[in-house]
Structure 1
Amino acid sequence: MTVVTSTEKKILELDDILVKFSLFGKYYVQSTVVILLAYMSNSIYCANFVFVAEEVSYSQIRNLNNASHRCTKWVYDNPHSLVAEYDLACQDWKRTLVGTVHSFGYMIGLLIIGPLSDRLGRKKVIVITGVVGGVLGMARSFSPWYWLFIALEFLEAALGDICSPIFMLTMEMVANNKRLIYQMICGFGFSIGGIGLPLFAWLFPYWRHLLRVLYTPALLFFLYLLLLDESPRWLLSKGKKDEAVQIIQKIAKTNKVKIDKAVLDKLSCEENIKEATFPELLKSTFTSVALLRRFFICLTWWTTSTFVNYGLMINSVSLQGNKYLNFALINMVDFPGNLITTFLMIRFKRKIPLIFTFVFTAILCLSQPFVPRDLPWLSIFLYVMGKFVSSSYFAITYIFTSELFPTYTRNSMHALCSSLGRIGSILAPQTPLLMHYWPGLPSLVFGGTSLLAGMATLFVPDTADTSLPDNVKQAELLGSRNKEKGIE
């Protein structure tokens, strides 16, 4: 049994205690399984429209007895598809609108979920969003009308985003020197979900049945009230030291680590906390020129990441070959991508890997349209590699953004950047329409935006090997050699 005893320091930061807990201890192993399931569900819910609202061929039946020979009926290759049941022939924009509305709902929802998570806590919002998302997703499968389906799609995305609060909990529940490894492990949930989705779509081709199979398990997210603990870091930022100490003691007991009571007594905690509104939180952050500049750079990262990643994923079903295998392959590359990204961030911190992955993705995407047509394997290889590298900069963006802002506004700022950046995922479902003008046009657009984001990264500090800042001044000093942790 490991024993943690008191030190000479008058004040101890949370990281001084969390660093004593092994990620492979019983507590974190159990938490990892629970977090993986949440990430899997988010990955599936954000992309199921690719199969639910897939493109279906159709033809006309004309009444030869009618002098005008007007079309009297549409015949669909798959009469049980969403396109057929809602009779969307010659209205392809209504089909692609499903993905766009989901992304727009996600964008609006982040403005609600992020601040709610900072105010109510990570755990409560995880449970609320998980269950509400499941209910709305199930309801969507019973919709008899197209516009009701669209409305439910929007509400599910807006109110059922479990990813934002669970990601923040993941970042805050471990010591700063273990954030990368733990996030890498939990991040595999996204890849597992991405591979599982085409499997479910293949097994349950009828879109209504598919939605019911995917969303029914989400109703069990209420069990997370028992399976998850609140973020100790969030509790301390709210002045709730006793509750934070109880969770730390639970972690210690489960992992068989004994902590001296004197150590917990010295734990740093915010005092005289005054609950601020969302506008007040934004004002406290944006009055800092340094943080305002970081916000706009993060916004560029997020717009590019969502646009390119979702765009490449959506267009993958148009590649030669089996659409289910292509989709799975595109998501399968995230496994090695996750490992390589973590290695790059450990070895080269945050800034250099992010610039490299943005630029490398730009090169791959800009090259792909010019591959000779008699070399389809090379075109697919460049496409898959583009998705592989772009998933890396999306992962870095997630972590980098959360490390640039203080604890009491971290989820709000992370959610705001992610929300406004969803303009990229709103536009992404429309990129297949660009192929009507030139098949290589989407890839050129993806490459150009990646290059722009890489250039913007030059103007932010690196956050590797530093504790998460708790207030604005600590955040401003990130990257400064004379940074003093605890400055008020």
Structure 2
Amino acid sequence: MHINGSYNITLNTTVPSCHKYESCLEWVYDKPDSFVAEFQLACQEWKRTSVGSIHVLGYMLGLLIIGPLSDKFGRKSMVIFTCVSGGTLGCMKSFATSYWLYVALELIEAAIGDPISPIYMLAVEMVATKSRATYAITSSTGAGIGGMLLALVACFVPYWRTLLRVIYAPGLLALFFIYLLDESPRWLLANGKKIKAVKIIRNAAKLNKMEIEDNLNTIFYKQNEETSFTKVIRDTFTSPYLLKRFFVCSGWWIAATFVNFGLIVNSTLLGGKGYINFGISSVMKLLGNFSTAYIIYKFNRKGPLIFYFVACAVLCTGQPFLPKSRFWLQITSYMVSLILSCTNFSIVYIFTSELFPTQSRNSMHALCSSIGRIGGMIAPQTPLLMAYWSGLPTLTFGAVSLTAGLVTLLVPDTTDQSLPDTVCQAEKMENKILTDPRGSKPEKAVQTI
């Protein structure tokens, strides 16, 4: 039986049309060297969609490992480790001889090969309060640019094994970060490594031709008693304020990953070539990042996040009821929804990092993000809902987005507030309270950078 099919941007797959009333002895593929053809996935749609879910599962589990390790051993160490691991395992995937071996490597690579979490913490902690959000979100535009380059490279490198080698091999260059990248001074200070932090700050000042005080060593407060990582995590979860933020942030992440990934996955079903649709989705993500940097600079964090969650919910809910004859209207509505979801994702990323103390920031950020990947795991399966009604996926995105917008009312705005270094400082952000809600005296803080 001859099969006509389409292809997916990531694996360049040929997806055959299956008819239960037909029988055949052998499948013949239009693209015999595609991922689906090489692993004989004809009429096994669940295997193809499961690759994305397995990747998200690996990333979810990996965040529970990388986040705490980043808080314990430093941001720089984990950035280098994850980049090199990702590059190595990604190249190994290109030599997979079976579907299940590929899936296993996909799971491991997603778990220990994604540097986003530690490198984001490093970026957030290296800049001043007023520039923090703009710098962090502008830096994250690399994800949108990377998506555009992926679509472009995939057009010229169609064979999936070669494509994997091309996009993963550069990760091995991260070894040079040992000499090119500095550790976060804030992390060093929070972990009692004052001398190293002062050295980095002095070098940065010299590079920027700035003068700083000679007695910099005495400016930063050094704790008399070292606080264990276990104690910090325990204090974080026993604080009623931080526990509430944890649940809210987890809800944000579930909604953000589910809606954003779901819209991107479903964008390949809008018609046309998957490469082009995926590239357009990346452009939307890039536009979303640029607009976010301006919006949160002018209008803070909390208000815009509520507005964009609700606006995305309205557009997604209305998508199924747009006239089918107005294809341009459907595309426009869909892409605007995608921009809004990307904006939500960017604000959630920065907002979460600002609600928890330095001593447990990466751990809590990673934990919330890990829980949020539940939404990312479900998102690749949403196209299957179209079997019941074509508008069911976007209607679901709308309901989830609206819920996330409403729970945002429960947390304080962090605009123009210094990053908290301790649990006590993080608690004081709640309505700007002046004392520790548990009755203890406020603890001294590490000076903000």
Q: Tell me the TM-score normalized by structure 2.
A: 0.93
Aligned to 2:51: 98
Matched-pair contact (CA < 8 Å) for 2:35–2:160 = yes
Matched-pair contact (CA < 8 Å) for 1:306–1:421 = yes
- Of stretches 476-485 and 81-90 in structure 1, the one that deviates more from structure 2 is 476-485
Residue 410 of structure 1 deviates from its aligned partner by 0.4
Secondary structure (helix, strand or coil) at the match of 2:412 reads coil
Aligned to 2:119: 166
Cα gap change, 1:281 to 1:93, in 2 (>3 Å): farther
Matched, 1:51 2:10: yes
Deviations 1:63-96 (A, max 9, x none): xxxxxx9521011222111111000111110000
Deviations 1:155-201 (A, max 9, x none): 00001120000000000001111101211321111110111111111
Cα gap change, 1:86 to 1:315, in 2 (>3 Å): same
Q: Which structure 1 segments of 5+ residues have no match?
A: 1-47, 63-68
Q: Which of 69, 74, 84 is 1:121 aligned to? A: 74
1:170 counterpart letter in structure 2: A
1:323 counterpart letter in structure 2: G
Q: Which of 219, 233, 238 is 1:266 aligned to? A: 219
Deviations 1:123-161 (A, max 9, x none): 001000000011000000000011000000000000112
1:209-288 to 2 correspondence within 5 Å? 209-277=162-230, 280-288=231-239
Residue 322 of structure 1 deviates from its aligned partner by 2.6
Matched, 1:360 2:311: yes
Aligned to 1:396: 347
Secondary structure (helix, strand or coil) at the match of 1:480 reads helix
Cα gap change, 1:321 to 1:208, in 2 (>3 Å): same
- Of stretches 428-437 and 227-236 in structure 1, the one that deviates more from structure 2 is 428-437
Aligned to 1:415: 366
Distance of 1:484 and 1:169 partners within structure 2: 30
Matched, 1:466 2:417: yes
Matched-pair contact (CA < 8 Å) for 2:195–2:217 = no
1:338 counterpart letter in structure 2: N
Residue 58 of structure 1 deviates from its aligned partner by 5.4
Q: Which of 125, 128, 137 is 1:184 aligned to? A: 137
Residue 346 of structure 1 deviates from its aligned partner by 1.7
Aligned to 2:263: 312
Q: Percent identity, aligned pairs only?
A: 51
Deviations 1:95-146 (A, max 9, x none): 0010000000000000000000000000001000000011000000000011
Residue 53 of structure 1 deviates from its aligned partner by 5.8
Aligned to 1:338: 289
Distance of 2:13 and 2:391 partners within structure 1: 21
Residue 50 of structure 1 deviates from its aligned partner by 4.5
Matched-pair contact (CA < 8 Å) for 1:236–1:270 = no
Distance of 1:456 and 1:98 partners within structure 2: 32
1:275 counterpart letter in structure 2: S
Matched-pair contact (CA < 8 Å) for 2:58–2:109 = yes
Distance of 1:477 and 1:334 partners within structure 2: 34
Matched-pair contact (CA < 8 Å) for 2:355–2:414 = yes
Distance of 1:282 and 1:237 partners within structure 2: 14
2:72 counterpart letter in structure 1: R
Question: Where does structure 1 differ by over 6 angstroms across 4 or more consecutive aligned residues?
Answer: none
Distance of 2:213 and 2:309 partners within structure 1: 47
Residue 382 of structure 1 deviates from its aligned partner by 0.5
Matched-pair contact (CA < 8 Å) for 2:157–2:163 = yes
Distance of 2:140 and 2:223 partners within structure 1: 30
Q: Tell me the TM-score normalized by structure 1.
A: 0.85
Cα gap change, 1:405 to 1:388, in 2 (>3 Å): same
Distance of 1:91 and 1:72 partners within structure 2: 16
Matched, 1:487 2:438: no
Distance of 2:173 and 2:435 partners within structure 1: 44
Secondary structure (helix, strand or coil) at the match of 1:388 reads helix
Secondary structure (helix, strand or coil) at the match of 2:389 reads coil
Cα gap change, 1:265 to 1:429, in 2 (>3 Å): same
Aligned to 2:243: 292
Residue 281 of structure 1 deviates from its aligned partner by 3.9
How many equivalent pairs are there?
432
Distance of 2:8 and 2:328 partners within structure 1: 27
Distance of 1:369 and 1:270 partners within structure 2: 58
Cα gap change, 1:344 to 1:484, in 2 (>3 Å): farther
Distance of 1:263 and 1:126 partners within structure 2: 28
Q: Which of 75, 86, 96 is 2:28 aligned to? A: 75
Residue 264 of structure 1 deviates from its aligned partner by 4.0
Cα gap change, 1:76 to 1:311, in 2 (>3 Å): same
Deviations 1:426-481 (A, max 9, x none): 00111111112222111001111000000100111111100001111111111434
Cα gap change, 1:252 to 1:379, in 2 (>3 Å): same
Aligned to 1:453: 404
Distance of 2:407 and 2:27 partners within structure 1: 49
Q: Which of 327, 332, 335 is 1:376 aligned to? A: 327
1:429-448 to 2 correspondence within 5 Å? 429-448=380-399
Secondary structure (helix, strand or coil) at the match of 2:254 reads helix
Secondary structure (helix, strand or coil) at the match of 1:71 reads coil
Residue 360 of structure 1 deviates from its aligned partner by 0.3
Q: Which structure 2 segments of 5+ residues have no match?
A: 1-6, 444-449
Secondary structure (helix, strand or coil) at the match of 2:28 reads strand
CA-atom RMSD, angstroms?
A: 1.9
